[in-house]
Structure 1
Amino acid sequence: MTNPVTPPYTAAPDRYERTPYRRTGRSGLRLPAFSFGLWQKFGSDYPYATQREIILHAFDLGITHFDNADRYGPPHRSAQQHFGRVLANDLAGHRDELILSTKAGNPIGPSPYQIGGSRKSLLSSLEHSLRDLGTDYVDIFYHHRPDADTPLEETVGALVSAVRQGKALYIGLSNYLPETATAAAELLNAAGVPLLIHQDRYSIYDRKPERNGLLETAAARGSGVIVYSPLAQGLLTDKYLTAIPADARAHNSAFLSPDAIDETYRQRTAELNKIAEARGQSLAQLALQWVLRRPEVTSALIGASSAAQLDHNLAALSFPELSAEELALIEEHGVHGTGQPG
């Protein structure tokens, strides 16, 4: 018996009619309202065929931005390698239509050169990422998190070098607080490499970017914002309203604790779910609409475990804007810190 041959991929001709695009700060770059993140479920513990199907379906829906990092897996770097395989086999002819981003700075091994913001760490990681992805440049290169042990000037200098060497087109910062981000942006501007975008966690249950001023800082400096975990690791879905399913992420995730899924969480989430149901949508769709309501937010990063889930999430764009009354109810029940340990 011979193995079935995978048919060649042909991109949907109407893909640019399906997803709106937003300008990234004051730059000329536009990103889709939803970008696709490979943070979870794109390591070697998930079938490659499913990963390929989801990535190609995302592109067919007009999602042109795919966000990666050297740390994503498991094991580390495997998500980049899997995307690189799809790029080589299916999307090579569309490279000029893709926005590929990667990040460096979070630990990926025991070596002191596999963590942090040193020139050695950042530029070595970028070289590995380019090989993993099978491309000679990424569109956006991020420092994944601040490094207090490395002078900011050194970190920024490495990011500038990546652009000047033609290995990155734009620079981003991830998980930076406004004060440090502002200092980095000033150094970047002085080198003639403006800060394109901030990446930070933001959801109805995690308001830090609006509470600490990052959204306003980005807008004032002309940078975009892309948010991750808009569904709060699944807390802003109906998955945990009555119990924790046996196969739920909460059982084995470093980012979501079963202890946080308490009665207070369920009461607040049930009220948010009522708001969504009254609008004829799911709680996940409501939560995605909510993060995109802010004009500072360029794009929201979403993942998916199936093409159907991706379709469901993108359908959030088809609903009317949230009214002032609905936003007030969300404010009442969507309390910052809900579902967070401690």
Structure 2
Amino acid sequence: MSEATFPDIYRADDLRYSDEGDHPAMPYRRSGASGLKLPAITLGLWHNFGSDRPLQTQREILRHAFDRGVTHFDLANNYGPVPGAAEENFGRIMASDFRPYRDELLISSKAGWDMQAGPYGFGGSRKYLVASLDASLKRMGLDYVDIFYHHRPDPETPLEETIGALDHIVRSGRALYVGVSSYSPERTREAQAIAKDLGTPLLIHQPSYSMFNRWTEEELLSTCADQGMGVIAFSALAQGLLTNKYLHGVPENSRLGSHKMDSGFLTDETLEAIRALNDIAAKRGQTLAQMAIAWVLRRPEVTSALIGASSVKQLDDSLDAVKNLEFTDAELAEIDRYATDRGINQWAGATASTE
């Protein structure tokens, strides 16, 4: 698609890295033991960037994110709908708006979950990972991605093959860094040992982590720190549960209302916890979403919190979490009364299967 699709020319905000603009400056955090810094908040294109959403709305969200210092956009081969659509749409917007700013951007993609029918559209084989990344680069119109992840553990493929493929991807120039997602602590240690031996250490781990999904605190966060890996937490808002969206019922356009999320996730007890946490956030002068993001970022092991956005307004609300990232001991103790695992970790099976 040519630039004629978007008649106006985008120029990034000159104050995107400054406190002098209309919003607070985005903090940047070093990823593990590497030299790479990520914004404290990353924009993910898991939802809202497929073929079912207006391209102009997607463009407005991406532009505004970058204008507020969000330099990291996170994708995967199968993000849509349909699979591949998010990368295709991002590629169109990259060509029209962000090409002059490529060196200021971190663009990540992944492969590992279902992408296509047949034996080469799932898992952790060298065949799938390399071919998938080549297709992702073509869809996005890029020469390389900054970070490429193995999207999920694959117990049927030798770990040496999967990590060897990631090493090849870096050495071939397809990616600058590599990481893993949803690996267990044990599998993470094994993977990093192989990666270091090959000479391409894993940069980062992307697990699910939120107030309602705290499995990473048991061992994974400390494992990543010990292994020199950063952590980028996805689903920091518990797929929208940790927002004001469900305080007064289930909206039709929500993930629950549109049946994109298990209705069992929102029990009466969980709803009571959401309301209690919302009251705590109000005392801090924050929305619930802002407090939930700040809470994930309270851990020194966490490099970035990964969020989604369906509008510029929603994006602004989430990004304003950086106005207050500090918690008192009393606040954390009160939050802990309600911030408990609530059976929403739909990725637990994949993680556990590698133990």
In structure 1, the partner of 2:14 is 13
Gap runs ≥5 in structure 1: none
Give runs of aligned pairs for residues 59-98 of structure 1, distance below 5 A: 59-98=66-105
Query: Among residues 217, 224, 235, which one is paired with 2:230 in the alignment?
Result: 224
In structure 1, the partner of 2:342 is 337
Q: TM-score, normalised by structure 2?
A: 0.92
In structure 1, the partner of 2:350 is none
Q: TM-score, normalised by structure 1?
A: 0.96
The Cα of 1:281 is off from its aligned counterpart by 1.2
In structure 1, the partner of 2:352 is none
Query: Among residues 179, 203, 213, which one is paired with 1:206 in the alignment?
Result: 213
Return the alpha-carbon distance in structure 1 between the equivalents of residues 7 and 40 of structure 2: 30
User: What secondary structure does 1:250 align onto?
Assistant: coil
User: What secondary structure does 1:249 align onto?
Assistant: coil
Query: Among residues 221, 224, 228, which one is paired with 1:215 in the alignment?
Result: 221
Query: Among residues 272, 283, 289, which one is paired with 1:284 in the alignment?
Result: 289
Give the letter aligned to residue 112 of structure 2: G
Gap runs ≥5 in structure 2: 19-24, 347-355
The Cα of 1:26 is off from its aligned counterpart by 0.8
Alpha-carbon RMSD across the aligned residues, in angstroms, is: 1.5
User: What secondary structure does 1:259 align onto?
Assistant: helix
Return the alpha-carbon distance in structure 2 between the equivalents of residues 95 and 166 of structure 1: 16
Task: Tell me the alpha carbon deviations over residues 170-225 of structure 1, each in whole angstroms, 9 at most, x when there is no partner.
Answer: 010001001111101000000100110000100000001112x1100000111100
Distance 1:86-1:238 versus aligned 2 partners, 3 A rule: same
In structure 2, the partner of 1:153 is 160
Distance 1:98-1:4 versus aligned 2 partners, 3 A rule: closer
In structure 2, the partner of 1:129 is 136
The Cα of 1:268 is off from its aligned counterpart by 1.2
The Cα of 1:338 is off from its aligned counterpart by 5.6
Return the alpha-carbon distance in structure 1 between the equivalents of residues 146 and 259 of structure 2: 30
Give the letter aligned to residue 164 of structure 1: R
In structure 1, the partner of 2:48 is 41
Return the alpha-carbon distance in structure 2 between the equivalents of residues 51 and 205 of structure 1: 28
Distance 1:324-1:299 versus aligned 2 partners, 3 A rule: same
The Cα of 1:241 is off from its aligned counterpart by 2.1
Return the alpha-carbon distance in structure 1 between the equivalents of residues 296 and 98 of structure 2: 30
Q: Percent of aligned positions with the same letter in both sequences?
A: 51
Return the alpha-carbon distance in structure 2 between the equivalents of residues 161 and 340 of structure 1: 32
Query: Among residues 138, 146, 168, which one is paired with 2:175 in the alignment?
Result: 168
Return the alpha-carbon distance in structure 2 between the equivalents of residues 286 and 270 of structure 1: 13
Give runs of aligned pairs for residues 297-316 of structure 1, distance below 5 A: 297-316=302-321
Task: Tell me the alpha carbon deviations over residues 1-43 of structure 1, each in whole angstroms, 9 at most, x when there is no partner.
Answer: xx99621000101111221100000100000000110000100
Give the letter aligned to residue 224 of structure 2: A
The Cα of 1:339 is off from its aligned counterpart by 5.6
Task: Tell me the alpha carbon deviations over residues 248-272 of structure 1, each in whole angstroms, 9 at most, x when there is no partner.
Answer: 2113344x22233121111111111
Indicate whether 1:245 and 2:251 are aligned.
Answer: yes
Distance 1:12-1:74 versus aligned 2 partners, 3 A rule: same
In structure 1, the partner of 2:353 is none
Of 256-265 and 168-177, the range deviating more from structure 2 = 256-265
The Cα of 1:238 is off from its aligned counterpart by 1.9
User: What secondary structure does 1:333 align onto?
Assistant: coil
Give the letter aligned to residue 195 of structure 2: L
Give the letter aligned to residue 331 of structure 2: E
Give the letter aligned to residue 237 of structure 1: T
Distance 1:210-1:320 versus aligned 2 partners, 3 A rule: closer
The Cα of 1:331 is off from its aligned counterpart by 0.6
Distance 1:282-1:171 versus aligned 2 partners, 3 A rule: same
